[in-house]
Amino acid sequence: MRAILALAALRRHGPRTVLAVLGVAVAAAMLLCMVMLSAGLRESFRELLLARGFQLRLSPRGTLPFDTEATIPGASAIARELRALPDVVVVSTVLGGQLHVERGEGSVTAFALGVDPAAQGDYELLSGRDALASDALVVNDAFLAATGARVGDTLEVAAGYNPQLRSYSGERRLVVSGRARFLYLSAEQSAGALPIATLQTMTGRARDDEASLFMVRLKEGADVEAARRWIQANILRVDAISTAEAMQRVDERLSYFRQLGFILGAVSLIVGFLLVTTIVTVSVNERVGEIAVMRAMGVSRMHVVQQILLEGLVMSMAGAVIGLGLGLVTARYLDAILSAFPGLPAAIDFFLFQPRSAWTALGLLVAVGIAAGIYPSWRAATLPIATALHEEAVA
């Protein structure tokens, strides 16, 4: 009965109710977007770091991976030492550099990764063959578009450019053996991967057996922090960073986005609360006589309170359902704009949908709907019956 009366009261002023529901929907859409933003970047980075199962990353001491051109000498010996640890399953040795492909009057510059194809965790092969041969090169679509090459072509490739001598330290003919998607690079960045020994030779880093990064995968259930501490203490040329520590650094750098999401989410809740409170209060003021008659007929105060609360809750729920759909569409559109920012990995999502995000937004809006009906329901329940009837009769 209470629900029927609440719906009848809302239908009585249909246009006003529709406008209120649309206003709540806009607030709900903003709230969902902010909840998705606050958790999206963090979860997206975590999934990216764990995409190939590597829990530890070793970079030159004092730097982050590929932050500078610093390298780690004696890479083969370090890799053997790491593989000797009982909890270590896979060690991926990576060397970063640049490749230059002459095309017409200019050249195409691409980011290069020297890897062990059997243990690499930097790319997913899409077609063709992996870079197993010493002269093989796996590239992304941006590289193919920039150079006009196709899988199977042979390219004259140079590396190790010296700006003072205006010459390259190494040139070689490489065969494009396959297409790949590089996990940690932006989609528009030209990139290629080749055996690490080949890139070391071309860049002049073979003599000291240099690498830029090690990625370490441990056994399932292994103590990652204990392994990190051992590596940090025993391999003095590297800094060992676990996924948990990397996420802590990401959290520090993304605190701005979380604060922005919290502020805008709070604003959307306040707007929704004020809107529903205003509409329900206006509705109660217009029905003072009706409520007084109901009370005179013996309807309890609790009945009146519940009916008014239901009106606010129905508007909030209807707006929430519409707003969640609107929020998903808006988040996808905004994510496409922000993800196009140069230099961001293609796998990064600013707005990551999780069922928990939707339930959080829905729960907050339900609470707002109930809270918005408290004041008008209390006012309706405490109306002096005789005075209200008299004023209604005079009016």
Q: What angle do CA 19, 23, 28 make, to 5 degrees?
A: 145
pLDDT at 10 over 70: no
Specify the residue for token string 């001491």.
61
Res. 197 pLDDT band, cuts 50 70 90: very high
DSSP states of 290-305 as a string?
Answer: HHHHHHHTT--HHHHH
pLDDT at 195 over 90: yes
Decide the pairing of beta strands 88-103 and 213-218.
antiparallel
**Can you give the pLDDT at residue 192?**
93
How big is the chain by its Cα radius of gyration, in Å?
31
Amino acid of residue 179: R
Res. 387 pLDDT band, cuts 50 70 90: low
pLDDT at 94 over 60: yes
Question: HSE of 150 in the Cβ direction (CA atoms, 13 Å)?
Answer: 0
| Two structure tokens written together for 25 | 């929907």
Give the integer Cα–Cα distance in Å for 225 and 180.
32
Q: What is the pLDDT of residues 207-257, one digit of tens each?
A: 899 999 999 999 988 898 999 999 988 888 888 888 877 777 767 766 776
Give the integer Cα–Cα distance in Å for 204 and 99.
13
H or E stretch covering 345 = none
Mean pLDDT of 96-102: 87
Question: HSE of 158 in the Cβ direction (CA atoms, 13 Å)?
Answer: 14
Decide the pairing of beta strands 88-103 and 136-139.
unpaired
| Two structure tokens written together for 89 | 């399953």
Res. 104 pLDDT band, cuts 50 70 90: low
Give the integer Cα–Cα distance in Å for 271 and 276.
9
pTM of the model: 0.67
Give the integer Cα–Cα distance in Å for 158 and 331.
43
Percentage with pLDDT > 90 across the chain:
24
Name every residue whose Cβ is closer than 8 Å to that of residue 216 and which is 6 or more positions away in sequence: 54, 55, 56, 57, 58, 82, 88, 90, 91, 92, 227, 231
Q: What is the pLDDT of residues 249-287, one digit of tens each?
A: 767 766 776 777 778 778 888 888 888 888 777 777 766
Please tell me the least confidently modeled range out of 76-85, 335-344, 368-377: 335-344
340, 186 in Cβ contact below 8 A?
no
Give the integer Cα–Cα distance in Å for 303 and 139.
70
Give the domain ranges of the chain: 2-48+254-394, 62-236
How far the first Cα of the chain sits from its last, in Å, is: 29
Give the integer Cα–Cα distance in Å for 206 and 208.
6
Q: Tell me the residue length of the chain.
A: 395
**164 vs 335: which has the higher pLDDT:** 335
Q: What is the pLDDT of residues 112-134, one digit of tens each?
A: 999 999 888 889 999 999 999 99
213, 79 in Cβ contact below 8 A?
no
